[in-house]
Amino acid sequence: MALKKYKPTTPGQRHKIVTTFDDITCDTPEKSLLWPVSKTGGRNHSGKMTMRYIGGGHKRRLRIIDFLREKDNIPATVKTIEYDPNRSARIALVAYADGEKRYIIAPSGLKVGQKIESGRKAAPEIGNTLFLSDIPLGTIVHNIELRPGEGASMARSAGTYAQLLSRAGKYANLKLPSGEIRMVLVTCRATVGSVSNPDHSNEQSGKAGRNRWLGRCPRVRGVAMNPVDHPMGGGEGRASGGHPRTRKGTPAKGYKTRDRKKASNQYIVERRKK
């Protein structure tokens, strides 16, 4: 996979950098695994705006992704590598030996025709899902469960991965993408390898319109508002706005927002680097 830079034929093309779609093998999704998505525009059931700067965007359909990978000891064959408009990573369509088809997050290096498997008997190879108790130490993993049977919730976006550092008792130590080292139960599952599309972080949209296609509206700065609308608003001329704060008055830079009494704090061995 590589990045594509365009010639500056227009102002929007001048800074545009996108990933090529060389890894995509099919542009028609599996119809049985699609689900309609209705847009909210940031409004709740009564029409009140509860989330700002959301609206518009291209019409999408949800691809139903298998984050559980609980079909143990049934081999599956990778049929296609596809683009998913709802996430930064690529997805892969796999067909199990019993005839069932599912979408999974495609790891880097996964090829069409490759066999993958999950369960205790699976080998620790790219695309296979195992329990943390069965994965060799030092292995790069993604799609990690936080609670057994809940489904993958960590290291799912493009290019991310975690490393299995050690095991002690019923917990395994994982170094997460943020740099945090965290204890996770060894009965949780993880998939071997890193997530596909690692160049996603180097993309540049090139123009504001591409953000509108994603359903993102322009965001108004607090210092550009009136005092009634924001703590940093108002003032004569171009006032700096004072201490950085959110719209509700919470300090916005350097202020710790995590609850010191949060129950999961005991599972964090080392905090992420600042």
Q: In this structure, what CATH number is given to the domain that contains residue 59?
A: 2.40.50.140
pTM assigned to the model: 0.91
- The predicted structure's pLDDT at residue 2: 87
Instruction: Report pLDDT for 151.
Output: 96
* Residue 168 is assigned to a structural domain of this protein: yes
Residue numbers of the domain that contains 168: 3-201
Q: Is 143 left (phi over 0), alpha (psi -120 to 50) or beta?
A: left
Integer Cα distance of 3 and 165 in angstroms: 32
Considering the domain boundaries, does residue 81 fall inside one?
yes
User: Residue 43 falls within a domain, yes or no?
Assistant: yes
The whole-number pLDDT of residue 65 equals 98
Residue 85: inside a domain: yes
Q: What is the pLDDT along the chain (274 residues), one digit of tens a residue?
A: 689 999 999 999 999 999 999 999 999 999 999 999 999 999 999 999 999 999 999 999 999 999 999 999 999 999 999 999 999 999 999 999 999 999 999 999 999 999 999 999 999 999 999 999 999 999 999 999 999 999 999 999 999 999 999 999 999 999 999 999 999 999 999 999 999 999 999 999 999 999 999 999 999 999 999 999 999 999 999 998 889 999 999 999 989 888 999 999 999 999 988 7
Total domains in the chain come to 1
Across 155-259, where does the E strand assignment appear? 162-168, 171-175, 181-185, 189-192
Q: How many CA atoms lie within 13 A of 46 on its CB side?
A: 2
Q: Does a structural domain hold residue 269?
A: no
CA–CA distance, 208 with 16 (Å, rounded to integer) = 11
Query: Residue 268, SS3?
Result: strand
User: Are the beta carbons of 240 and 231 closer than 8 angstroms?
Assistant: no
Indicate the burial class of 151 (C-beta count within 10 angstroms; 0-12, 13-18, 19 or more): middle
For 89-137, write each residue's pLDDT tens digit: 999 999 999 999 999 999 999 999 999 999 999 999 999 999 999 999 9
Does some domain include residue 208? no
Strands 101-105 and 91-96: antiparallel
Inside any domain, residue 256: no
Q: Check if the beta carbon of residue 190 is closer than 8 Å to that of residue 129.
A: yes
Evaluate whether residue 225 is within a structural domain: no
